[in-house]
Chain A
């Protein structure tokens, strides 16, 4: 499973692949696509995956509200306890809070994450969701799909398809974490 770091990269080889405008336009498009596919906001809910997906989920909720005038329920999911590498690690990763303050029975849950890579995080997130209830449907929205899947998982909404090599590192930096909005890629 990929190790996430939220530390800004000041690396010289970091290459900009999306700027603030690109991210804003991609999120606006995804918001429209979500509404189009689900025919409005009925039964629609969003769940951001900690930590990268939470801020993006909040932005999507705002955009959906801007379009439809309705604030859809939003939750935050920490997938740490569902990781498939827990038994192999020497030190256990720090847990964060899960908070899904609505009943998702028969609802459409759009999982939101920043980068889709191996797909292992999404597998863990789906297991985590199932323990919290029984969603009618789970969809997946990601800002960046960088390929290299290790599981048969596919996103429904993609901000940008980014061809990468397995060794490269993709980082989504956001204003909410005190950064300028941008996506960068660097050699690891």
Chain B
């Protein structure tokens, strides 16, 4: 089978088979990233544009490296500094990029639905690298890949996603994908950070962290967006850490073989204790390494001529 899609905007509409295909394709690229010469000619002559309206180092670098290892030409475009200030719309910026013959546009934007809007307006393939509070599909896919790499089976897998679920596109993409694959998803956090009606997505909500972590196989921590402090979501960072910070003691409530994940960048000592972030059960750096392989896989699958 192949991925018959022009764009990758969201995990919500993807089938189980499509997700499996992406993970298997990433396997082949994982082998490539382990070679001495980490480059293959698959995307020779193609142009990938990283269009990032929001600051990002990790995701942008990961996409850049992935495209370069596939021999594509990569251009990083961060319009925040230039055209937006001059009043250019998203679609006009993108059309300009398209006019330069971009095959694939990787978009990061602060508004939910930006990738969808862009995909409708341009012929190039669009990959959503995070749109507002909506989705961050490649992050969830690399999370899935990391879980699978640890030999875990998704059916019946107990996963706790802990933190500010409301404002997390990573959480949303993971909820869509994990529930689809048959995992038992628990959302843990204060009520101010839990979106209304999130249970409808098939996840269970826990306001008590200890209860939520009991027996889980995967603990997925979300970054506490410190910039949101003062918006009445939590009284103090110290209180948040006491109630929802991951400590070694809390890890012990989970399954003995449980892994700890975090999309980064981590706030050491806030949502995750330093000793937990550096512990053997932490797969945080594996996630980063797998991110390149997953993105190579997605770029490869999206690179068919339109």
| A residues with CB within 8 A of B | 78, 80-82, 86-99, 127, 131-133
Asked if A92 contacts B304 (CB within 8 A), the reply is yes
The chain B residue with its CB closest to the CB of A130 is B37
Within 8 A of A (CB), among B1-50: 1-4, 21, 24-25, 27-29, 31-32, 35-37, 39-46
Offer 20 A-B interface pairs, CB within 8 angstroms, sorted by A.
A80-B42, A81-B32, A81-B41, A81-B300, A86-B42, A87-B303, A89-B304, A91-B3, A92-B2, A92-B3, A94-B21, A94-B24, A95-B24, A95-B25, A95-B29, A95-B300, A98-B32, A99-B31, A131-B39, A132-B37
List of A residues within 8 angstroms of B40 by Cβ: 81-82, 131
Q: Say whether A97 contacts B35, CB under 8 Å.
A: no
Q: Which residues of B contact A90 (CB under 8 A)?
A: 304-306
Q: Measured between C-beta atoms, what is the minimum distance from A160 to chain B in Å?
A: 32
B301 at the binding interface (Cβ < 8 Å)? yes
Known A78-B28, A131-B39; judge A94-B304 contact (CB<8 A).
Answer: no
Chain B residues, Cβ within 8 Å of A92: 2-3, 300-301, 303-304
A131 engages B37 (CB within 8 Å): yes
- Chain B contact residues: over half helix, strand or loop, or mixed? loop
Residues of A within 8 A of B39 (CB): 131
Q: Which residue of A lies closest to B4 (CB)?
A: A91
Residues of A contacting B300 in the complex (Cβ-Cβ under 8 angstroms): 81, 92, 95
Question: Which B residues lie within 8 Å of A97 (CB)?
Answer: 27-28, 31
| A-B contacts besides A81-B41, A94-B25, A132-B35, 17 pairs, CB < 8 Å | A86-B303, A87-B44, A87-B45, A87-B46, A91-B3, A92-B3, A92-B300, A92-B301, A93-B2, A95-B29, A97-B31, A98-B28, A98-B31, A131-B35, A131-B37, A132-B36, A133-B36
Provide the bound-state CA to CA distance between A132 and B40, in Å: 10
* A103 CB → nearest B CB, Å: 10
- Chain B proximity of A94: nearest CB distance (Å): 7
Bound-complex Cα distance A81 to B297 (A): 11
Residues of A within 8 A of B32 (CB): 81, 98
- Asked if A96 contacts B28 (CB within 8 A), the reply is yes
Interface size of B as a range: 20 to 34
Name the residue in A87, A89, A132 with the highest tally of chain B Cβ atoms < 10 Å from its Cβ.
A87
In the complex, how many angstroms separate the beta carbon of B66 from the nearest chain A beta carbon?
A: 13
Query: What's the dominant secondary structure at chain A's contact region?
Result: loop
Q: Kindly list chain B residues whose C-beta atoms are within 8 Å of the C-beta of A89.
A: 304-305
In the complex, which residue of chain B has the Cβ closest to the Cβ of A96? B28
Task: Give the most central of A90, A131, A132: most B CB within 10 Å.
Answer: A131
CB closest chain-B residue, reference A128:
B40
In this complex, what residue of B is CB-closest to A87? B45
Beyond A91-B2, A93-B2, A97-B27, whether A81 also contacts B305 by CB under 8 A is: no
Closest to B28 in A: A95
State the CA gap A78–B24 with chains docked (Å): 14
For the complex, give the distance between the alpha carbons of A81 and B301 in Å. 11
CA distance A173 to B44 in the complex (A): 34
**A88 and B303 alpha carbons, distance in the complex (Å):** 10
CA distance A86 to B70 in the complex (A): 12
- CB interface residues, B 126-148, toward A, < 8 Å: none
What are the residues of chain B within 8 A of A127 when measuring CB–CB?
41
CB nearest neighbor in B for A99: B31
A98 to B33, CA, bound (A): 12
B305 touches A88 (CB 8 A): yes
B236-249 interface mask toward A, CB cutoff 8 Å, 1 = contact, 0 = none? 00000000000000
Of all chain A residues, which has the CB nearest B38?
Answer: A131
Taken together as a complex, chains A and B put the C-alpha atoms of A108 and B169 apart, in Å, by 51
